[in-house]
A and B are shown apart, each in its own frame.
Chain A
Amino acid sequence: MKPVLRTQGLSKSYGSRPALIDVTLTVPAGRVVGLVGPNGAGKSTLLNLAAGMIAPTAGTIEVLGSRPAADAAQLARIGFVAQDTPVYAGLTVGDHLRMGRRLNPRWDDALAEGRVAQVGLDPAQKAGRLSGGQRAQLALTIAAAKRPELLIFDEPVASLDPLARRAFLQSLMEFVAELEVGVILSSHLLSDLERVCDHMIVLTGSRVQLTGDVEDLLATHYRLVAARGGLDALPPGVEVIHAEHTDRQSTLLVHDTVGAVPGLAADTEHLNLEDMILAYLTRAALGAVGARAPQTLEAQR
């Protein structure tokens, strides 16, 4: 199977402001992909590039093996729900389904009608009068009923209250199971993605910090605690993501690509996803602040 997403040196700038810098990654098929990072990290830019809404400044991007939005056939393969889930305020829910039916060759009417009934949308209601959660459900329905091979959601739950958020993600997971469709969704909150995604891309400061299957990531990241100085020499292939030192002991968060960690320290445990991603975000934030942060750490020794 073709990878869902493959980019090579992908960059995008708006004027002189870079939004995405040199992103190279491959996401294998059949994953529910979470794209996480703080606001302004470049998540929307990456997803809009994947949907073909905007064109890259440099580099290449392929989605399901083809250039995004290259033609009608490629558009039919991808369902993209943009941020704020735009709908036509003046058109009714029924009009939106009719639009979907007329503009998509693989439109699944039964699915669309079924979902609208299930989430309690009134087909005669103007879309402009829907609540945020209802609008997101409508957008999800349109995207899913075109029967794409890949669904892309840009911050689908950002504007929803916790209850609607849960309901939306619930719907989404039902779709994924039912339709055997690939999914990429982004959020600035890991908690939204943690339960549903099996592949993560962590983006911050316009760069990819971490990417991989959740299972692999969990298996290769450790927290090591040892006496101060006991971990100064790490074997090659073990990368320190974050280090904290007190007078007596050192705590390291490491990424082990070679399987060398077990046995290095008495106190070794796997990291959970949240701590892992936080460690990467912290590292990126410290790097962005400049050379001051390491000096502070240095001074504490």
Chain B
Amino acid sequence: MIWLTWRQFRGQAVVALVALGALAIFLVILGLQLRNVYDANVGCAGCSVESGAQLLKDKYFSVLLLTGFLIILIPAVIGAFWGAPLVARELEAGTHRLVWNQSITRTRWLAVKLSFVTLAALAFTGALSLLFTWAASPYDRALNDRFDPLFFPTRNLAPLGYAVFAVVAGITIGLLTKRTVIAMAVTLAAFTAMQILMPTVIRPHLQGPITENVQFTAVAAHGIWTNPAGQVSVEGYDVPGAWMLTNEAKLVDSTGAQPSKAVTEVCFTGDFAKDKACLEALNLHSVLTYQPADRYWTFQWLEFGIYLLLALLLAGYAFWRIPRGLS
């Protein structure tokens, strides 16, 4: 059965290896470049870590963001092109009636196919994730924002969870729809939905976030603005390495109430540095919510675990379904 699975998968494997080779070359070059820039601007004696990090961000934010999207896109593509057709194409072409009448049970047939392709997807995505995590590590060290939702899913364990989920979802959806193209579309839709739900609805609540009352300081604020009612908002309070759930915080006074318009309005003169100093003198606070940096690995494992669990549930359904006849 392993031979047959390999024989049917061979063509896709060759395409995948070519793609992996090209991506690996790109990632290695990217990683080496980043290391050079890092050594010259951040890791050097007497360099300003802050301006070095800013330089890295200016030069590499876009390319790392886009490559990160690619790292997430690959499990989706794998799910649609490896997972979805695995059973659906057999049902569509009627060849299941050939293979299911060899001396092998359907359960075993599915077990071998599913394991084989899932392992292949894990290996492929794992290699890419490893390379990308390595390539981006100087950037992550300097900027310390790998917990950010834009970067979190692209590094370390998370992509592996996506790959397993995508493949198994593709297989199970194919078993249900019995049509390859429909299965591919539904798989992509399901994958996308999960990618939206996870960072917005599920991931922030995996552990209770930390809420902190922070004194407003001129140094930490990147942007301040006020609305007509005199409510002042501040942007850019960063807890190092943390995932900030509060992007713009409203400033309150020591009693927790909104300061009156008369009090804050005098601080908005148009001179950014002076305005910040003026607000600092008012002894204002903001309430920040975030997931601290030391939870990064817990969250990676939880992300991986949740997707793995979903994959197991879907696989369980497929194994329950397949011996029961298809119509």
Binding site for B on A (CB under 8 A): 14, 51-55, 69, 71-73, 75-76, 78-82, 84, 86-91, 95, 98-100, 102-106, 139, 142-143, 146
Q: Which of B1, B95, B104, B325 contacts A88 (CB 8 A)?
A: B95
Q: Are B3 and A98 in contact (CB under 8 A)?
A: yes
Contact with A along B102-133 (1 / 0, CB 8 A): 11111010000000000000000000000000
Question: How many of B's residues come within 8 Å of A, CB to CB?
Answer: 24
A-B residue pairs, 4 tightest by C-beta: A103-B102, A76-B103, A82-B97, A55-B325
Q: Which of B100, B102, B105, B324 contacts A104 (CB 8 A)?
A: B102
Q: Which of B95, B106, B325 contacts A86 (CB 8 A)?
A: B95
Q: Are A139 and B103 in contact (CB under 8 A)?
A: no
Of all chain B residues, the one with the shortest Cβ separation from A92 is B7
Q: Are B98 and A95 in contact (CB under 8 A)?
A: no
Give the docked Cα–Cα distance between A224 and B327 (Å): 46
Interface centre among B8, B93, B97, B108 (most CB of A within 10 A): B97
Q: Contacts of B326 on A, CB cut-off 8 Å?
A: 53-54
Give the docked Cα–Cα distance between A54 and B106 (Å): 12
Q: Contacts of A98 on B, CB cut-off 8 Å?
A: 3, 7
Interface centre among A52, A76, A84 (most CB of B within 10 A): A52
Q: Are B103 and A103 in contact (CB under 8 A)?
A: yes
Give the docked Cα–Cα distance between A90 and B8 (Å): 8
Check if B228 is an interface residue, CB within 8 A of chain A. Answer: no
Tell me, rounded to whole Å, the shortest Cβ–Cβ distance linking A192 to chain B.
21
Given contacts A14-B327, A55-B325, A87-B98, contact A103 B105 (CB under 8 A): no
Q: Are B105 and A71 in contact (CB under 8 A)?
A: yes
Q: Contacts of A105 on B, CB cut-off 8 Å?
A: 103
Given contacts A53-B325, A87-B98, A88-B98, contact A75 B103 (CB under 8 A): yes
Q: Contacts of A91 on B, CB cut-off 8 Å?
A: 7-8
Check if B4 is an interface residue, CB within 8 A of chain A. Answer: yes
Give the docked Cα–Cα distance between A213 and B106 (Å): 35
Q: Contacts of A146 on B, CB cut-off 8 Å?
A: 102-103
Check if B101 is an interface residue, CB within 8 A of chain A. Answer: yes
Check if B94 is an interface residue, CB within 8 A of chain A. Answer: yes
Q: Which of A54, A55, A103 contacts B4 (CB 8 A)?
A: A103
Of all chain B residues, the one with the shortest Cβ separation from A75 is B103
Q: Which of A84, A88, A139 contacts B8 (CB 8 A)?
A: A88
Q: Are B97 and A75 in contact (CB under 8 A)?
A: no
Give the docked Cα–Cα distance between A84 and B96 (Å): 13
Q: Contacts of B11 on A, CB cut-off 8 Å?
A: 90
Q: Contacts of B95 on A, CB cut-off 8 Å?
A: 86-88
Q: Are A75 and B105 in contact (CB under 8 A)?
A: yes
Q: Are B101 and A78 in contact (CB under 8 A)?
A: yes
Q: Are B105 and A99 in contact (CB under 8 A)?
A: no
Q: Are B104 and A86 in contact (CB under 8 A)?
A: no
25 CB < 8 A contacts A-B: A53-B101, A54-B325, A55-B324, A72-B105, A72-B108, A75-B102, A75-B104, A76-B103, A78-B101, A82-B101, A84-B94, A89-B93, A90-B8, A90-B11, A99-B4, A99-B99, A99-B102, A102-B3, A103-B1, A103-B4, A103-B102, A105-B103, A106-B103, A139-B98, A146-B103
Tell me, rounded to whole Å, the shortest Cβ–Cβ distance linking A146 to chain B.
6
Of all chain A residues, the one with the shortest Cβ separation from B100 is A53
Give the docked Cα–Cα distance between A54 and B322 (Å): 10
Q: Contacts of A52 on B, CB cut-off 8 Å?
A: 325
Given contacts A55-B324, A72-B108, A102-B1, contact A86 B7 (CB under 8 A): no
Q: Contacts of A102 on B, CB cut-off 8 Å?
A: 1, 3-4
Q: Contacts of B93 on A, CB cut-off 8 Å?
A: 86, 88-89
Interface centre among A73, A82, A105 (most CB of B within 10 A): A82
Q: Are B7 and A95 in contact (CB under 8 A)?
A: yes
Q: Contacts of B4 on A, CB cut-off 8 Å?
A: 99, 102-103
Interface centre among B93, B94, B98, B325 (most CB of A within 10 A): B98
Of all chain B residues, the one with the shortest Cβ separation from A147 is B103
Give the docked Cα–Cα distance between A86 and B7 (Å): 17
Of all chain B residues, the one with the shortest Cβ separation from A142 is B98
Given contacts A87-B95, A88-B95, A102-B3, contact A51 B101 (CB under 8 A): yes
Q: Contacts of A89 on B, CB cut-off 8 Å?
A: 93
Q: Are A72 and B97 in contact (CB under 8 A)?
A: no
Q: Contacts of A142 on B, CB cut-off 8 Å?
A: 98
Q: Contacts of A69 on B, CB cut-off 8 Å?
A: 100, 105-106
Known contacts A53-B326, A95-B7; 17 further A-B pairs (Cβ under 8 A): A14-B327, A51-B101, A55-B325, A69-B105, A71-B105, A73-B103, A76-B103, A78-B101, A82-B97, A84-B94, A86-B94, A87-B98, A88-B8, A88-B95, A99-B7, A102-B4, A105-B103
